[in-house]
Each structure stands twice: as structure tokens, then as C-alpha cells.
Amino acid sequence: MKIRLVGMVLVLAIVLTSCVPPAMQQKNYSNREQQIMRVNNREEPSSLHPGKAASPADFWPVDHLMEGLMKRTPDGKLVPGMARDYRMSPDHRTYTFTLKEGLKWSNGDPITAGDFEYAWKYALNPATGAQYAYQLYYLQGGRAYNTTKETDPVKKKKLEDKVGVKALDEYTLEVVLETPTAFFLDLCSFFTYYPVNRKVQEEFRSWDKHSRTYVSNGPFKLVQWNHKQDMVMVKNENYYDKDSVKLKEIHWYMVGDENTSMQMYRAGQIDLVYPIPNELIPLMKNKKDPELHIVPDLSIYYYDINIRKKPFNNVKIRKALSMAINRQELVEDVAQGGQKPAYGIVPPGIPETEDGKRDFQAFSGSLFQEDVKEAKKLLAEGLKEEKLAKLPTFNLLYNTSTIHKIIAEAIQEMWRKNLGVDCNLQNVEQQVKMERMRKGEYQLVRDGWLGDYIDPMTFIELFTSESTQNFSGWNNEEFDKFTRYAQSSINQEMRMKAMHQAEQIIMDHMPILPIYFYTKSYALKSRVGGVFNIVNRYPMMMYAEIQ
Amino acid sequence: MLSYMVKRLGYSLVTLWTVVTLTFFLMHLVPGNPFDKEGRMPPEIFENLMKYYHLDQPLLLQYIHYLKSLLVFDLGPSIKSDVLTVNDMIVQGFPVSLQLGIDALILAVFFGILLGTFAALYHNRWQDYLSMVVAIIGISVPGFILGTLLIHYLAVGLGLFPPALWGTWQHAVLPSFALSFMPMAYIARLMRSSMLEVLEQDYILTAKAKGLRGSVVIVKHALRNALLPVVTVLGVIAANLVTGSFIIEHLFGIPGMGEMFVKSIFTRDYPAIMGSTVFYSGILIFLLFVIDLVYTWIDPRIKLAGRDS
């Protein structure tokens, strides 16, 4: 009887394991005829709706499905996408976009200016709960509509009608801005500014949740979406620039573990892996692995100093801490991911001239010098001013993660060795860290920022007195003045100058300790060509080709 | 029997309600909120989102709402996904975890019992030591190490199985094995000690004295009694396996629901935390009930309805 039971169990096991869905295509390398590229998206997108996309796992696929009025070319130039051309009013507050003719959604519907108006207003509607709605605050009345507490539908509709976007006819879109915004055209290439097929959304409210109802206007369309498992995109034959798209399909997987992702790459299950586990980057770099790519990323890693807590109100003490860190050593021996030491707050990759030749960060250079001797002197002076004999032991708070830990340990050791000061390291969960930052319950805290658009302002504006992201408690009138000027000026040269000055002011006061500028490291099979990088996006595959 | 089952059902509901209430309030006590992340959002947006997910209402009101929707089996929207509701997550993830869990359970039970019995029969001989070394390795080597090694050698090195993803039976081999190793070792150790105890019993001596064959004695007489402690722990093991293992699913990129348990807590996805807790408790309570019934089949001395001598 027991034997029979075991037999039954085994049969059951075989039945169970054989009734799984048929094999997905994988393992086999895609050849030139197939033109299939496979990547790991790491997680299930939380939304593929352009208005509701909120994380890299959302916008990486969305960037391949949709396109805005403007787009970036592989060499980084900002060119019209859905738009054919645009006109700017003399005061730079009104933009009139004309769409290309004959544009079609993936289902064949015509793309109209109304689809843009509809999409932007949908994202701004407070009832949508769009995380990135603030990207549309540059539109006249955008913030007012998004933040309204109005419940009366008539009054709410009035606010909606006041938002500065209007389809004048099928092909013409008029956009009115709150104030002149020099980087508005770049914003038009951002996912929150992508259009939505109004007809489809009104017919199927959840069109964006299933591949069979999903419509796109970009290089690819979605044909399969097994939630938490994979997505398949195929070339969109209705895309106006379909001749530049060589890939026939992109397969997206959702494997969360970085190491497994790397193993899938090694085993040939995927063609591109991003990000690479940190500890593998130096190994690949030393081997001069041709498949390793390290490219700039629009983000910075820094520590906030809570200047409301004594003795960190003293600028000399803050500067001493900053000058006693050896950042080159830190990125080379500790972080090891090809990061760049930060001596300012604006990362490389933002052009400051029209021709794109001069880089903002390269032009500002190092805004302060590391100097242990000088740091010691400043610390002694600062302590004297604060009537202290010795810097009391302070706490450095960071969110739990290996990289944050080793960076913090290295800096702790540099401070101990170079300045003779002690700091305690405290690690907490990300959510707890944020709560304590909001309440100002910290002395030094690890922080970071990813720029939304390609302009220095995306970093500079963090530190104004009205910024809600300014956790150090620092503010400075002169800094605010320069920032306000650069926010509303349309004279590119003058506003860049103002931002350089603003950046210098913040580094002279050192309310944050810049540590390094992030980089993106990814591995790409050598048989795949045409993958390109935009500094604030994930690797772009629309023009990729299997060779 | 019927009155027993009704009584048990009543107890189960009370247990479930307690779990729901405790989890609900504890979860809101933990600092942080679902919208904290590295690229922080402006406070206006934060307010909109709190309103959108009804998190701006008083906690008690939220609790009452939750209980109400629970009555109609609506576990609510996930805050971290605009695409899947918590119900969707369970409906899609559970069959995957269940299948992986059953595969692992079969492996664990079959090889665990075999190994344990084998060790007991060859008590204090090399076969015994070998089995127990395997068992100790199984208990002490965590699943993620075993999984990583399996991926490295069998998938990437030898190319026998795919390193990750889910879909065909080949995909299930490595994760099932990695997942089954620890419970297998546990069952083997339990089986060995209980088998040793049973083999000492008088009735085994009697059976042997009757002239029954060794294998019949083992299978028909010893095994049945020796299985009792194994069956006791089987409920918990099964509940653990079929509701998904975060580590194994994360490591092998399996779209089960193991990841939901852990990730929802890290991201403070309140509805998903509640949903997975309710679901897990439900499964556990149900399996413990099933185990009680199985007991009576294995050992008729255990009565369901209490004392009726």
C-alpha cells in the first residue's frame, strides 16, 4: 500500500510538472534574421501608462513603446519626434507645436494634438494619483489643477480648462508655460509628456494593463505581457521612422536578482544586463572586457549635513569634513564602479552651449580642493569658534545596502585618520531613513539625487529655501536669487553663468558633502550594435541591431 | 465529526481575525510610508497619493473598510502596482508557488523518508553517517547558497538547465531541488530518530517473531508509526513551501508570490502586506486542519470528537 502511494505521488509529480505552459523562446542566440533582443527589466512594471509610470522598471519599457513631441538622437541631440516643428513666442512662454503628418497609433488610429492635451491633463488630474505629475507644473495652471482640493466637478473642470495646453486643431498643439522655461523642449521628451490614445482610454479604462489593449506610438508595440514574468514587444509598423528600427522583437524579463541576471547573460538567456553586480565591475574592467560599458549617469551621491544641529552650523567644520575625504581613492578602491569623484553638485553630461560642445560640469571643474592640512586648520578654527575642545562623536545615517556601508566605513576611517574625529555609523531601512530626514532627526545622512531633465537646474533647485528636498536646513538669499534668475531666464548663456555662481555658493557653504557622480555600467553582447545612451535614461535599444 | 469541523472552523475564523487586526495595526506602527524612495516626490504629489489610496483617513476607518472588503474577498489595490491588484497578485503568483512547492515537497518527503529510514536501519554504520552528513549539510547550507551554486555549475557551467525564468519543466528542476533540500534534511533527521524508536518496540519484535519478511516489517509495521512525527511537521513545511520562498523565487526569477511577502514589507505596500498575511494564515490554518484529519487515518487512537471513550 505504501509502495502504491509512492507510485501515485511520483505520477502526480510528473503530471504537475508537465502541465506548465509551453516553452518560451530563449537560450538560443537570436540570429540576424530573427533580430530579437532580450533584456532583464528586473521587475514587473508598476505601470506602462505614460502618465503613471514612476520607476525605471516602468519608463525603460515605456521609452521603447512611446514617443513625445521631442526626442533625443543617439548622439544626444534634441530633435522633434512626434512634432514636425515648433514655434516659440518672443517671451518664450508659448510654444506652438505642429505634428508630423499621417502619424498613426499602433492600432491604426491617427495621432492628434488632442491626444497630447488629453494625456497631460489626465496626468495632472489629482484623481489620477500620478507620481510624476509635478513634471507638468511648468504648464500654466498645472500646479493649481494638480493640487486642488476642489470636489465640485464644475469648478474642477474650470481649473482643468485653465491648464496651458490646447489642441488648436488636429495637428496643432499650443502650450502656455507658467514662466519661460529654458529646458521645456527637453521636458517634451520625458515620459510624462508622452501622448495617450484618447479614444482607446475612454473605451477601455484599463487599456494600459493588458497587451491586447495596449496602444503605442513609438518604435515598438506590446504584444505579450505575462505579469511578473515577461513582456514581448514587436516593431511597430505604424511608426513614422520604422526604417531606422532594425530589431523585430524585444523580450523583457523580470528577474530581480542582480547576480542571477548576470548568470542569464553568461548563459546566453539575455543580451544586455543592467545593472551589473558592483563587485564584478572591477574584475571586468581589469580584464578589459569589451562587453563592459561604463557611461555617465545624471545622478549624484552625497551626504546631507543637518546644519541645525551644533556644531554643524559652523561652515568651517563642514568644510573640514569635506576636504578630508579622498574621493579618488573612494571611487577607485571602494566603490569601484567607474564613478567620478564629485567636487560640485552638477554631474557631467549636461551641455551648456547650444552646440553641445561645452559640458557644464567640466566647465565648472572642482569647486573645492581636498586638502588634509587645510582641513585640520579649518576644523581647529571652527571648534574654537564653537568653543569646543574636540568634535563630539557624531552619527552618520545611511540606508541598509552593501555599497552605502562600505562607502560610509571608508569615510569614517578617513575622518578618523585625517582629522582625528570619530563618527558612529547607523544603518536603517530606506523608509525609516526618509522618515528621520523629514523630521530632521539626524546629523549626517546619506542621500542621492537623479536628475529628471538635462539641465543643471534639476540639481541646483534642490537647495533653494523653498525646496522641499532641501534636508540640510541650509538656505542662502544670494543662492536663491541666482537660482530664480536661471529658472525664468531664457538667455542660455546668462542662466548658465548664474547656475555656475549658485553652485559655487553652495560649495562655499558646504551644507552637503558631494561624494561621487554615479555611472551606469552594463554588459552588452558584442553581436548587438546600435545601443545608445542618454544621460538620464536606461540604455536605449530602439536602433539596436543583431549582427 | 461534523460538530468538530464546525467548531474548528469557528476557531479558525477567530484566529484569522486576530491575525488581520494585529498585522493591520502593527504595520501602520512601523515608520515610513509606501511613497518614500530615492527620487523623492514633492509634498503636493504625496498628498494626492495619500488621498488616492485613502491613506489620509483615520486608521480605524481604514481598518473597518479593510474588514468590509475582506468579507467579499477583495484584498484591494496594490500601492506599488497600478497594473495588478492584490487579488491578481495572489491569483497569478500562487499557482506558480504552489507548483514549485509541491515539486519541492514531493522531493523532500520522498528523499527525506528514504534517507531517514535508511539511516535508522543501518544505525551507527557508514550508511547512517553518510545520510546524516547529507542531512546536516541540508540544514546548515542556506537555500540561496545552494541555489547560486546550482545556477553556476549546472546552468551556466554545464548548460543542463536554464539559470532562471519559469515556464517549462526544465525551469522547475533547479529551484525545486534548492527549495527541497532543507525540509528534506529536516524530515530525514526526524524520520531517523522516530524510526529508531519504533524499531525498539515490542510489536516489531513480535512481527519479526511471526516470521514476517524484513521488508514487510519495515513497510507495514514500522514505517506507519514512525511517520507520525513527520506528519506533524508536514503541515507547517507544506504551508511554507507552497506559499513560496522569497529567496528561491527571487534567485531564480520565478513569478510566484514569495517575493510579495518580503517586498511588500520593505516597500510598505500596505494592501499587499495584508493580502499576503491573510492568505498565508488561511493556508496555514487549513493545512493544520487537514493534518488533524490525516492523524486519525494514521493513528486511529487519536479521536476527533474528544472524549467519548
User: CA-nearest residue of chain A to B269?
Assistant: A431
Contact by Cβ (8 Å): B196, A55 = no
Closest listed residue to residue A311, CA positions, set A206, A209, A386? A386
pLDDT at B64 > cutoff 50: yes
Contact by Cβ (8 Å): A109, A195 = no
B165 to chain A, any CB pair closer than 8 A? The answer is yes
pLDDT at A18 > cutoff 80: no
The vertex-B281 CA angle with B280 and B284, nearest 5°, equals 85
Q: Convert the pLDDT of each residue in A36-58 to its tens digit.
A: 999 999 999 999 999 999 889 99
* CATH number for the domain harbouring residue A74: 3.90.76.10
Residue A312 and residue A395 in one domain = yes
Residue A513 and residue A531 in one domain = no
Contact by Cβ (8 Å): A41, B76 = no
Backbone angles phi, psi at B139, to 5 degrees: -75, -35
Q: How far apart are CA A403 and CA A395, in angstroms?
A: 18
For residue A300, the cross-strand partners are A449, A517
Closest listed residue to residue A471, CA positions, set A439, A449, A502? A439
Residue B290, SS3? helix
Residue A96, SS3? strand
Q: Where on the phi/psi map is residue A92: left (φ > 0), alpha (ψ -120 to 50), or beta?
A: left
Backbone angles phi, psi at A523, to 5 degrees: -110, 135
CB atoms within 10 A of CB B195: 26
Minimal Cβ distance to B33: which of A3, A431, A468: A431
Q: How far apart are CA B90 and CA B120, in angstroms?
A: 41
Q: Convert the pLDDT of each residue in A59-89 to its tens digit.
A: 999 999 999 999 999 988 999 999 999 999 9
pLDDT at B87 > cutoff 50: yes
Contact by Cβ (8 Å): B213, B135 = no
User: CA-nearest residue of chain A to B80?
Assistant: A46
Q: C-alpha cell of A122?
A: 489626465
- For residue A350, give every residue at least 6 positions away whose Cβ sits within 8 Å of its Cβ, in sequence order, or none: A298, A359, A360, A361, A451, A454, A455, A456, A535
Contact by Cβ (8 Å): B178, B153 = no
Q: Measure in Å the smallest separation between the Cα of B20 and chain A Cα atoms.
A: 23
Confidence class of residue A10 from pLDDT cuts 50, 70 and 90? Answer: very low
Q: How far apart are CA B52 and CA B35, in angstroms?
A: 12
- For residue A329, give every residue at least 6 positions away whose Cβ sits within 8 Å of its Cβ, in sequence order, or none: A410
Amino acid at A314: N
- For residue A366, give every residue at least 6 positions away whose Cβ sits within 8 Å of its Cβ, in sequence order, or none: A343, A344
- pTM of the full predicted structure? 0.88
Distances (CA, A) of A436 to A321, A345, A379, A398, B120: 22, 23, 27, 11, 57
Confidence class of residue A9 from pLDDT cuts 50, 70 and 90? Answer: very low
User: CA-nearest residue of chain B to A261?
Assistant: B164
Confidence class of residue A26 from pLDDT cuts 50, 70 and 90? Answer: very low
Judge whether A354 lies within some domain: yes
Helical segments of A388-517, H only: 402-419, 430-439, 457-460, 477-488, 492-509
Strand-strand pairing, A528-529 and A444-450: unpaired
pLDDT reported for residue B214: 80
Contact by Cβ (8 Å): B86, B73 = no
- For residue A252, give every residue at least 6 positions away whose Cβ sits within 8 Å of its Cβ, in sequence order, or none: A38, A39, A40, A41, A61, A230, A231, A232, A233
The answer to whether the CB atoms of B99 and A16 lie below 8 A apart is: yes
pLDDT reported for residue A21: 38
Residue A328 and residue A397 in one domain = yes
The mean pLDDT value for B193-212 works out to 87
Q: What is the mean pLDDT of chain A?
A: 91
The mean pLDDT value for B93-114 works out to 92
The mean pLDDT value for B48-75 works out to 91
CB atoms within 10 A of CB A487: 20
Q: Convert the pLDDT of each residue in A494-538 to its tens digit.
A: 999 999 999 999 999 999 999 999 999 999 999 999 999 999 999
| Contact residues, chain B, for A23 at CB < 8 Å | 167-168
Instruction: Output DSSP code: residue B56.
Output: T
pLDDT reported for residue A150: 87
Residue A183 and residue A122 in one domain = yes
Q: Where on the phi/psi map is residue A196: left (φ > 0), alpha (ψ -120 to 50), or beta?
A: beta
Residue A132, SS3? coil
Q: How far apart are CA A101 and CA A112, in angstroms?
A: 10
Amino acid at A13: A
Residue A284 and residue A355 in one domain = no
Residue A396 and residue A457 in one domain = yes
Interface test with A, best of B28, B49, B82 (most A CBs within 10 A): B82
pLDDT at A22 > cutoff 60: no
B48 to chain A, any CB pair closer than 8 A? The answer is yes
Residue A142 and residue A250 in one domain = no
Please report, for chain B, the start and end positions of each structural domain, with discontinuous segments joined by +: 86-308
Q: Convert the pLDDT of each residue in B212-221 to its tens digit.
A: 888 888 888 8
Contact by Cβ (8 Å): A460, A496 = no
Confidence class of residue B167 from pLDDT cuts 50, 70 and 90? Answer: confident
Q: Convert the pLDDT of each residue in A260-300 to its tens digit.
A: 999 999 999 999 999 999 889 999 999 999 999 999 999 99
* CATH number for the domain harbouring residue A387: 3.10.105.10
pLDDT reported for residue B302: 67
Interface test with A, best of B78, B109, B144, B166 (most A CBs within 10 A): B166
User: CA-nearest residue of chain A to B154?
Assistant: A267
pLDDT reported for residue A2: 42
Residue A38 and residue A159 in one domain = no
* Structural domain harbouring A34: 3-42+219-291+525-546
Contact by Cβ (8 Å): A121, A160 = yes
Residue A142 and residue A270 in one domain = no
pLDDT reported for residue B304: 56
Minimal Cβ distance to A260: which of B39, B223, B252: B252
Q: How far apart are CA B178 and CA B100, in angstroms?
A: 11
Rounded to 10 deg, the angle between the A402-419 and A315-323 helix axes is: 110
Closest listed residue to residue B116, CA positions, set B232, B236, B197? B197
Q: Measure in Å the smallest separation between the Cα of B17 and chain A Cα atoms.
A: 28
User: CA-nearest residue of chain A to B155?
Assistant: A267
The answer to whether the CB atoms of A257 and B32 lie below 8 A apart is: no
User: CA-nearest residue of chain B to A149?
Assistant: B48
Q: How far apart are CA A182 and CA A489, in angstroms?
A: 7
User: CA-nearest residue of chain B to A466?
Assistant: B42
In this structure, of A214-218, A533-537, B231-235, B268-272, the range with the lowest mean pLDDT score is: B231-235
pLDDT reported for residue B210: 86
In this structure, of A132-141, A387-396, B142-151, the range with the lowest mean pLDDT score is: B142-151
pLDDT reported for residue A1: 40
pLDDT reported for residue A24: 38
Minimal Cβ distance to B39: which of A52, A146, A450: A450
Residue A318 and residue A454 in one domain = yes
The answer to whether the CB atoms of A468 and B43 lie below 8 A apart is: yes
* Percent of chain A residues past pLDDT 70, beyond the cut: 95
Closest listed residue to residue B157, CA positions, set A240, A136, A266? A266
| Contact residues, chain A, for B253 at CB < 8 Å | 253-257, 260, 264
A435-445 residues labelled b (16+ CB within 10 A) or e (exposed)? bbbeeeebbbb
The answer to whether the CB atoms of A227 and B255 lie below 8 A apart is: yes
Q: Measure in Å the smallest separation between the Cα of B109 and chain A Cα atoms.
A: 10
- For residue A458, give every residue at least 6 positions away whose Cβ sits within 8 Å of its Cβ, in sequence order, or none: A298, A451, A452
Residue A306 and residue A279 in one domain = no
Sole residue written with cell 558612529: A424
- For residue B211, give every residue at least 6 positions away whose Cβ sits within 8 Å of its Cβ, in sequence order, or none: none
pLDDT reported for residue B39: 56
CATH of B86-308, one of 1.10.3720.10, 1.10.150.120, 1.20.1050.10, 1.20.990.10: 1.10.3720.10
Contact by Cβ (8 Å): B84, B78 = yes
Instruction: Output DSSP code: residue A110.
Output: B
B164 to chain A, any CB pair closer than 8 A? The answer is yes
* CATH number for the domain harbouring residue A541: 3.40.190.10
Q: How far apart are CA B282 and CA B268, in angstroms?
A: 22
Residue A306 and residue A192 in one domain = no
Helices first, then strands: H and E counts in chain B? 13, 0
Contact by Cβ (8 Å): A466, A454 = no
For residue A427, the cross-strand partners are A398
pLDDT at A351 > cutoff 70: yes
Please give the ipTM for the structure prediction. Answer: 0.84
Q: How far apart are CA B27 and CA B265, in angstroms?
A: 8
Tally of domains within chain A: 3
Q: How far apart are CA A375 and CA A316, in angstroms?
A: 8
The answer to whether the CB atoms of B163 and A263 lie below 8 A apart is: yes
Q: Convert the pLDDT of each residue in A295-323 to its tens digit.
A: 999 999 999 999 999 899 999 999 999 99
DSSP string, A375-400: HHHHHHHHHHHTT-SSPPPEEEEEES
Q: C-alpha cell of B14?
A: 477567530
Q: Convert the pLDDT of each residue in A329-343 to its tens digit.
A: 999 999 988 899 999
The vertex-A521 CA angle with B256 and A26, nearest 5°, equals 45
Q: How far apart are CA A513 and CA A516, in angstroms?
A: 10
CA B296 from chain centre, in angstroms, equals 23
* Percent of chain A residues past pLDDT 90, beyond the cut: 82
